[in-house]
Structure 1
């Protein structure tokens, strides 16, 4: 079935990258454009400058819904990522381009219990412990059960596949019915320590500062906006010194919009001793650290989800 402008589609690969324009794609990006979206090979080939190229806008997880606004004959689709709020760009969601081969029209599957991937990364198999059909399925991906667990393996519905696929039952969890507490979200974010920094990344292969926050909350079914300045607008400001682990620090230069975000990891101490977990542009990885002086100088507030 072809993609139809004006209709929704869903991501059929583990992680699809949302691009600024088809013409912005570089030669090194080939693996990320493939029908299987080979992110490990792609990211391994990026040098430190390519990791922060602004051709990447965001990323979409398996099963994530998009609104198709244009389908080109060269294999590209312009979409709105409706599950990634981005009010300053489009009230419907985050706009960008995706290889059409990584999307599939919405089709009905029998209703199943909602699940979320709780492993850092997993794969979907044709049969229990059988050949891999869909690699690179990451933390926070939402699935629906297709039947009972068999010998430690759970069948799930997967976009683009008529028959159920299988993954270890231990790699899934039920979606919570109540909002998570901040400490739970922080615990998930800490599992991404040392993941490499990739501008626009929202995956356990490579991630940026706001992508880390978005993904950690997404694990619990909470869809925060994609970008740091929008995340500030969607959360509640706190009085200075009232922040607690799991809250958010926001950073901006004088007269500029918010450009960075981190997750508070310790109660503030006398002398402005603050700590946070964040995807660090400078060190090109996710790390936890005491705020250095240059970060403290641009700290504009703490917020709570």
Structure 2
């Protein structure tokens, strides 16, 4: 497709990484680029310092819409991810750079009355039921438009950049809920990502950061929280410390600094400062559930409810 500024496009790959600028891309990032990015190989090829480099801003999932704001002749486009609110950065969504060959023109599809969302941690789209894989690595929380009813346990769906419907196991999808999730349900989705490696800007089961975990857990139910922790705090309802419930959010900040971390409450507070949360932990570089250590308790600045 020919991309043009001020036009919309959609992500045509299972997971597209949003970069701070094309010049920030490192040699180790090669697997995440091109028309067939391999997110698993990319993360596996980085050391722990490279996994927290500031060149990555976020990630976008298959079918996610962007507003194109600039197109460069070297194969890069500046975009705004409209489904990832980032009020401090851009009123329209999260800004950054994507390779142009990871984008496609929006398809003129009928609005589905029964949209689907991927509930499997990872699945693949096939050319036919049991046929060749066309898109491996489609991840939890990806929204799909059905192309017809399930047939023998396989569901046809539309995919950007593919003229014919593709197929995935029907068990890997669920109808997109019309009502907000219960706190336990959102926590349950996040808990399925326990032990996933911490990657700055990550938002997939291959690698994820703290606000990406929160965003993805609620996105699975059709709730679009902002992308970053500070914006998530601003978009949710304050709760008095001590009155938190399972599924609420803890936010953390150092004195006179903006919010830098978020976790999901996993148990009612105990006596004193005995609190527990599930979070993507920068220090331990993975998703885990734990009692808040002293350094976390010292920077706890609030509780909020989605």
TM range (shorter): over 0.9
Q: Which residue matches 1:77?
A: 77
2:147 is the alignment partner of 1:146 = yes
Q: Which residue matches 1:190?
A: 191
Q: Which residue matches 1:218?
A: 219
What secondary structure sits across from 2:101 in the alignment?
Answer: helix
- 1:16, distance to aligned residue in structure 2 (A): 0.1
CA distance in 2 between counterparts of 1:107 and 1:304 reads 36
CA distance in 2 between counterparts of 1:99 and 1:68 reads 12
CA deviation map 1:261-284 (0-9, x unaligned): 000000001121100000000111
What secondary structure sits across from 2:137 in the alignment?
Answer: strand
CA distance in 2 between counterparts of 1:204 and 1:13 reads 15
Q: Which residue matches 2:51?
A: 51
Q: How does 1:4-15 map to 2 (within 5 A)?
A: 4-15=4-15
Q: Which residue matches 2:266?
A: 265
What secondary structure sits across from 1:128 in the alignment?
Answer: coil
Q: Which residue matches 1:31?
A: 31
- 1:109, distance to aligned residue in structure 2 (A): 2.4
Q: How does 1:255-294 map to 2 (within 5 A)?
A: 255-294=256-295
CA distance in 1 between counterparts of 2:242 and 2:208 reads 28
CA deviation map 1:132-185 (0-9, x unaligned): 001110000000110111111000000000100000000000011111111100
CA distance in 1 between counterparts of 2:111 and 2:179 reads 21
CA distance in 1 between counterparts of 2:264 and 2:241 reads 15
2:150 is the alignment partner of 1:164 = no
- 1:240, distance to aligned residue in structure 2 (A): 1.3
- 1:78, distance to aligned residue in structure 2 (A): 0.3
2:63 is the alignment partner of 1:68 = no
What secondary structure sits across from 2:203 in the alignment?
Answer: coil
- 1:111, distance to aligned residue in structure 2 (A): 4.0
2:20 is the alignment partner of 1:20 = yes
- 1:22, distance to aligned residue in structure 2 (A): 0.2
Q: Which residue matches 1:303?
A: 304
CA distance in 2 between counterparts of 1:182 and 1:242 reads 15
Question: With structure 2 as the length reference, what TM-score do the two structures score?
Answer: 0.99
CA distance in 2 between counterparts of 1:127 and 1:68 reads 32
Q: Which residue matches 1:104?
A: 104
CA distance in 2 between counterparts of 1:264 and 1:37 reads 34
Q: How does 1:79-94 map to 2 (within 5 A)?
A: 79-94=79-94
- 1:99, distance to aligned residue in structure 2 (A): 0.4
What secondary structure sits across from 1:173 in the alignment?
Answer: strand
Q: Which residue matches 1:114?
A: 115
CA distance in 2 between counterparts of 1:158 and 1:240 reads 44
Total equivalences in the alignment: 305
Q: Which residue matches 2:174?
A: 173
Alignment root-mean-square deviation, CA: 0.7
* Structure 1 unaligned residues grouped into runs of 5+: none
CA deviation map 1:204-233 (0-9, x unaligned): 110000000000000000000000000000
